[in-house]
Chains A and B, each alone.
Chain A
Amino acid sequence: MSAILAVLQRDLMVVVRRKSEALTALFFFVIVSSLFPLGIGPEPGLLRKIAPGVLWVGALLATMLALQRMFAADHADGTLEQMAISPSPLVGLVIGKIAAHWLVSGLPLVLMAPVLGLQFDLDAGALGVLMLALLLGTPVLSLVGAIGAALTLGVRGGGVLLSLLVLPLFVPVLIFGAGAVESHIAGLGAGGHLSLLAALLALSVFFAPWAATAALRIALE
């Protein structure tokens, strides 16, 4: 447990020293989702309709930006190798890294989403559902993304391959995440979609760290 916290703390400290990396993803999210209202024009009905999808696609792509660097920097400076031969189990250290990735590139999106949602004329209830859906969904993106990042570690042109591997796996999160907001707006209640998102989260919390660890061991050999 202390090893998990140590990795988490170390990764967060590296991000604090090099702020640009963390801010890139957030600004990307802000700009992409602000371009839609500007491009489509001020028609509240249409904006409300596209809001869930646009915000979720924006969040998904913003998460992808930092995904490739999740293990690549550690691989390059040799600290990943040290983690692999550390007396602490590697899976714990991987959990720490995934948590750090979510805190840096997932949580800011959750906090920023309601502000961006205002541009799409979403009411307070819909904004709440959007935040909740993102809160459940973005950790899944980090967890599943970690498997892709580990699999493409050290591969030349790994960025494109990573997108091809991971984006299809993000589809269920996108469907249920955007669906939650849509059904709330339609007055059907978001409970079902949110439950499914929570189920996806539970599933990936259990399996993704192990899969990512196995992939890392292969990449290091």
Chain B
Amino acid sequence: MLSAHGLSCVRGERRLFAQLDLAVDAGQWLHVRGENGAGKTSLLRLLAGLAQAVEGEVRWCGRPIQSAESEYRRHFLFFGHQGAVKEDLSALENLRFAAAMDGAALPETQALAALYRVGLRGREDLPIRVLSAGQKRRVMLARLATRKARLWILDEPFTALDTKAVDLLATLITEHLAGGGMAVLTSHQTMPIAGGLVVQL
């Protein structure tokens, strides 16, 4: 499904990686590993189409992602270091606006159910700025649970999460994979998810 062929990435004068090949198929997940500054985030941004590779290309179902952009975007979800939430809005509003901006309205009951599942019961109406860093990341988990995407591209998803939330995210990813989904993650921790292909940068 998702594959990359001969990817090279240059930041400034430094070549971060060259001639990188990878492939992820339904039900598989990919663990991107490497030291700080090795180019993990850069690789993920290339896969998400947020940056252009100097060489090589990323393909979705065998077609370059640039040629089927809107089709590809419907099928993946990308989370970077930033929370991608508005500090002045509540968790519930953030979740529903994010869904509406993707062109898929999210009913309030479903949004609330997702927030309850990630442990934000009673905090769904508080502005995000009063939540802790970990709780902010939990809003991201709720978005994973509500947005129907086949491919999850997650940059350091376990940062700032407590052990319960780490377990929850691992469960979410396992369920997602069992349903034929795919995931690409970066993380320095040993992953609490079975299987997985490894890309070492």
A contacts, CB < 8 Å to B: 2-3, 5-7, 9-10, 13-14, 17-18, 76-79, 81-89, 93, 220-221
Q: B52 within 8 Å of A by Cβ? A: yes
- The answer on a CB contact under 8 Å between B101 and A220 is no
Q: B62 within 8 Å of A by Cβ? A: no
- The answer on a CB contact under 8 Å between A17 and B78 is no
Indicate whether A10 sits within 8 Å of B51 (C-beta atoms), given known contacts A78-B80, A87-B70, A87-B102: no
Q: List 6 A-B contacts (CB under 8 A).
A: A2-B105, A7-B101, A85-B73, A86-B102, A87-B102, A88-B103
Q: Which residue of B48, B52, B89, B103 is within 8 Å of A2 (Cβ)?
A: B103
Q: Which residues of A contact B70 (CB under 8 A)?
A: 87, 89
Q: Which residues of A contact B73 (CB under 8 A)?
A: 85-87
B151 to chain A, nearest CB (A): 11
Across the two chains, which residue of chain A brings its CB closest to B86?
Answer: A14
B143 to chain A, nearest CB (A): 9
Q: B127 within 8 Å of A by Cβ? A: yes
Indicate whether A79 sits within 8 Å of B48 (C-beta atoms), given known contacts A88-B101, A89-B70: no
How far, in whole Å, are A207 and B70 apart by their CA atoms in the complex?
Answer: 22
- The answer on a CB contact under 8 Å between A221 and B98 is no
B141 to chain A, nearest CB (A): 15
How far, in whole Å, are A84 and B48 apart by their CA atoms in the complex?
Answer: 10
How far, in whole Å, are A72 and B45 apart by their CA atoms in the complex?
Answer: 20
How far, in whole Å, are A66 and B88 apart by their CA atoms in the complex?
Answer: 18
Q: Which residues of A contact B83 (CB under 8 A)?
A: 77-78
Q: B74 within 8 Å of A by Cβ? A: yes
Say whether chain A's binding surface is mostly helix, strand, loop, or mixed.
helix
Q: B1 within 8 Å of A by Cβ? A: no
Q: B50 within 8 Å of A by Cβ? A: yes
- The answer on a CB contact under 8 Å between A14 and B105 is no
- The answer on a CB contact under 8 Å between A2 and B100 is yes
Q: Which residues of A contact B50 (CB under 8 A)?
A: 81, 84-85, 220-221
- The answer on a CB contact under 8 Å between A6 and B97 is yes
Q: Which residues of A contact B102 (CB under 8 A)?
A: 3, 86-88
Indicate whether A79 sits within 8 Å of B86 (C-beta atoms), given known contacts A10-B97, A85-B78, A93-B101: yes
How far, in whole Å, are A113 and B36 apart by their CA atoms in the complex?
Answer: 55
- The answer on a CB contact under 8 Å between B84 and A78 is yes
How far, in whole Å, are A41 and B7 apart by their CA atoms in the complex?
Answer: 69
- The answer on a CB contact under 8 Å between B82 and A6 is no
How far, in whole Å, are A85 and B101 apart by their CA atoms in the complex?
Answer: 11
A78 to chain B, nearest CB (A): 3
Across the two chains, which residue of chain A brings its CB closest to B149?
Answer: A87
- The answer on a CB contact under 8 Å between A83 and B89 is no
> B41-76 vs A: 1/0 string, CB under 8 Å?
000000011111000000000000000001001101
A48 to chain B, nearest CB (A): 43
Q: Which residues of A contact B51 (CB under 8 A)?
A: 221
